[in-house]
């Protein structure tokens, strides 16, 4: 009897342990509530400038290729590339010997013509005296008057040639027409140059111009006198004033715009590039890190976290750049949105804030 009771007790104990293990196994198999760990970003509204950005390039306010006005061999060079020169400063000298010889010959001819004129003038006065007393014929008197007039014309002609010779002699010295920098030099001492020869490229740097193009829909924002921001890599941002709007569009239906800006240090150079930014308006929005915005098909959403639950809010991107996205939508200042793991969230999922 005792053996039977002992066996029954052992069986009952084993049955109880089996039931306990089964209950524990069933409990472990039940899924726990899923939570996604996120970090939060609190929204703060701000005014977002809306801009149109386009590339462009700089050009000098004055940028010319200097050519001589007379021909000759280069005798001296007075400046090197990169030098700053003032208006009227001598840049090179052409050998003046030929022009000095021409001037000397003309001055000698003028002296001879004046001497001949004085001689004819004396003859004319004597002929006049005799003609008035009817001692010579009118024809003889008029002949000497004609010779005197011809000599006067000759003197005036030689004087004009002398003035031209002096001008050419002065042109053997090539001078700067305005103050600026020697960007390039094309000649050396000993070169023979003509009025078709390029000698120097002279440019100004302050002020400087920025040239860019815009579509016609942005013309109202680029009128003469309007301001434009110009960003130059490695130098920062400058402000220019529009002074030229092309009266025609090019083959690509773009309109050329030119803005003038100060460049006192000469950091900006002709043909450098930059980016023009036209202010089109200002909108109210929120600046968020770009990881907060999730693309769902053709929509963009952020996940608003409220009461430990994630809810999607469709947003419109106003502006984007440098890791920041400016958005607007059904959001309010102070709302919290998900940053970390935002891309794995689903509507209504519970979250755990890190």
CATH class of residue range 35-47+283-353: mainly beta
- Residue 239: strand, helix, or coil: strand
- Angle (CA) 192-60-220 rounded to 5° is 150
DSSP β-ladder status, 350-353 and 35-38: parallel
Is residue 21's pLDDT more than 70?
no
The H or E element spanning position 139 is helix 138-170
As to burial, measured by CB atoms within 10 angstroms (0-12 exposed, 13-18 middle, 19+ buried), residue 86 is exposed
Q: How many residues does the chain have?
A: 354
Question: What is the layout of strands, in order, in the sheet containing 72-77?
Answer: 173-175, 90-94, 72-77, 192-193
Q: What would the pLDDT profile of 233-256 be if each residue is shown by its tens digit?
A: 989 999 999 999 999 999 999 999
Q: pLDDT class for 354, splitting at 50, 70, 90?
A: confident
Q: What is the pTM of this model?
A: 0.66
Q: pLDDT class for 4, splitting at 50, 70, 90?
A: very low
Q: Of 38-42, 136-140, 276-280, 284-288, where does mean pLDDT reach its minimum?
A: 136-140
* pLDDT, position 86: 96
Q: What would the pLDDT profile of 152-189 be if each residue is shown by its tens digit?
A: 899 999 999 999 999 999 999 999 999 999 999 999 99
Q: What is the mean pLDDT of residues 334-343?
A: 86
* pLDDT, position 275: 96
| CA gap 310, 353 in Å, rounded | 11
Pick the CATH number of 53-62+206-282 from 2.40.30.170, 3.50.50.60, 3.40.190.10, 2.160.10.10: 2.40.30.170
Find how far residue 99's CA is from the centre of its chain: 45
Q: Break the chain into its structural domains and give their ranges.
A: 35-47+283-353, 53-62+206-282, 65-185
Q: Of 16-30, 269-283, 328-342, where does mean pLDDT reach its minimum?
A: 16-30
- Residue 300: strand, helix, or coil: strand
Residue 129 in tokens: 């005296």
> Is 306 within 8 Å of 331 (Cβ atoms)?
no
Q: Which residue has the tokens 């090539």?
A: 174
Is residue 1's pLDDT more than 50?
no
> Is 79 within 8 Å of 179 (Cβ atoms)?
no
Q: How many CB atoms lie within 10 A of CB 74?
A: 20
C-alpha pair distances (Å), 348 with each of 311, 351, 354: 6, 9, 18
The H or E element spanning position 68 is none
C-alpha pair distances (Å), 240 with each of 211, 232, 260: 11, 12, 5
Nearest by Cα to 155 from 99, 105, 107:
107
Q: What would the pLDDT profile of 48-86 be if each residue is shown by its tens digit?
A: 888 899 999 999 999 999 999 999 999 999 999 999 999
């Amino acid at each position: 009897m005792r053996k039977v009771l002992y066996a029954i007790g052992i069986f009952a104990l084993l049955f109880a342990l089996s039931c306990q293990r089964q209950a524990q196994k069933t409990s472990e198999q039940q899924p726990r509530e899923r939570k996604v760990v996120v970090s939060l970003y609190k929204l703060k509204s701000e005014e977002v400038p809306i801009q149109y950005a386009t590339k462009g390039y700089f050009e000098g306010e004055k940028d010319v290729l200097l050519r001589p006005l007379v021909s000759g061999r280069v005798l001296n060079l007075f400046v090197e590339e990169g030098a700053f020169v003032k208006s009227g400063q001598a840049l090179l000298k052409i050998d003046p010997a030929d022009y000095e010889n021409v001037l000397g010959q003309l001055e000698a001819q003028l002296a001879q013509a004046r001497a001949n004129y004085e001689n004819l003038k004396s003859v004319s006065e004597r002929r006049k005296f005799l003609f008035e007393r009817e001692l010579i014929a009118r024809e003889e008197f008029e002949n000497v008057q004609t010779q005197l007039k011809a000599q006067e014309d000759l003197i005036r002609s030689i004087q004009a040639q002398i003035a031209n010779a002096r001008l050419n002699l002065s042109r053997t010295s090539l001078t700067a027409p305005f103050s600026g920098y020697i960007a390039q030099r094309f000649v050396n001492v000993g070169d023979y140059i003509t009025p078709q020869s390029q000698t120097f490229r002279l440019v100004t740097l302050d002020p400087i111009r920025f040239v860019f193009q815009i579509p016609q829909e942005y013309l109202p924002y680029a009128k003469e006198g309007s301001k434009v921001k110009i960003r130059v890599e490695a130098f920062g941002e400058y402000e220019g004033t529009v002074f030229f709007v092309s009266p025609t569009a090019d083959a690509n239906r773009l309109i050329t715009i030119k803005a003038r800006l100060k460049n006192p240090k000469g950091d900006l150079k002709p043909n450098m590039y930059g980016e023009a930014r036209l202010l089109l308006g200002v909108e109210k929005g929120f600046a968020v890190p770009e990881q907060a915005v999730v693309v769902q098909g053709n929509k963009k959403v952020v996940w608003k976290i409220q009461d430990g639950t994630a809810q999607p809010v469709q947003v419109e991107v106003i502006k984007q750049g440098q890791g920041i996205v400016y958005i607007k939508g059904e959001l309010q200042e102070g709302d919290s949105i998900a940053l970390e793991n935002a891309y794995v969230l689903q509507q209504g999922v519970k979250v755990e804030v890190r």
